[in-house]
């Protein structure tokens, strides 16, 4: 049986207009050159923004995405454009965080993935949202996400 070829990334090395919405964004993947090794990859997004679906006001979060790659890696430019597409997207914190995790799992089929969405206060209450695919592969180290709890004025 012939191996299916992976399409080459289409966004690299060229100017690309930001997508208008997450639905318009093109998340791309590339082959993992170390499929024989379990390891962790982390993306930290300290300035993630979306819109409140009720008020239309901006919401801000610090996202941390950890995953143990399987056959694929997410192409980072496409991830940056995809995440930026949430800037004009109205959704609750929980929806944004879990959707991003599920979209990455659908694309990559990783051995494991977790996402932490550390949202800044709305109405005086910070909302932190966490989602993961299941058990961490045996023997793999997953460091703390390193985002301090919100302390307000304390």
Q: Which of 38, 52, 103, 128 is catalytic?
A: 52
Q: Which of 24, 36, 38, 59 is catalytic?
A: 59
Instruction: Assess whether 52 carries a catalytic annotation.
Output: yes
pLDDT in tens, 33-74: 999 999 999 999 999 999 999 999 999 999 999 999 999 999
What secondary structure letter does DSSP report for 139?
Answer: T
Q: Judge whether residue 154 has pLDDT over 50.
A: no
pTM tops 0.75 = yes
Separation CA 101–CA 116 (nearest Å): 9
Instruction: Assess whether 95 carries a catalytic annotation.
Output: no
Nearest to 85 by CA among 130, 145, 19, 40: 19
Could you give all domains of the chain from N- to C-terminal order, each with its CATH number?
Answer: 39-132 (3.30.1130.10)
């Amino acid at each position: 049986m012939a191996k299916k070829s992976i399409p080459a990334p289409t966004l690299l090395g060229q100017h690309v207009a930001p997508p208008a919405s997450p639905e318009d964004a093109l998340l791309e993947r590339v082959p993992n050159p170390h499929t024989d090794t379990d390891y962790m990859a982390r993306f930290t997004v300290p300035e993630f923004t979306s819109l409140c679906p009720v008020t239309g006001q901006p919401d801000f979060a610090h996202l941390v995405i950890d995953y143990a790659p399987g056959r694929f890696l997410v192409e980072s430019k496409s991830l940056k454009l995809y995440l930026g597409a949430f800037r004009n997207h109205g959704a609750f914190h929980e929806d944004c965080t879990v959707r991003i995790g599920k979209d990455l799992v659908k694309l990559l089929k990783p051995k494991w993935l977790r996402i932490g969405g550390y949202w800044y206060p709305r109405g005086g209450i910070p909302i932190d949202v966490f989602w993961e695919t299941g058990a961490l592969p045996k023997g793999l180290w997953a460091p703390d996400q390193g985002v301090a709890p919100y302390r307000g004025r304390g």
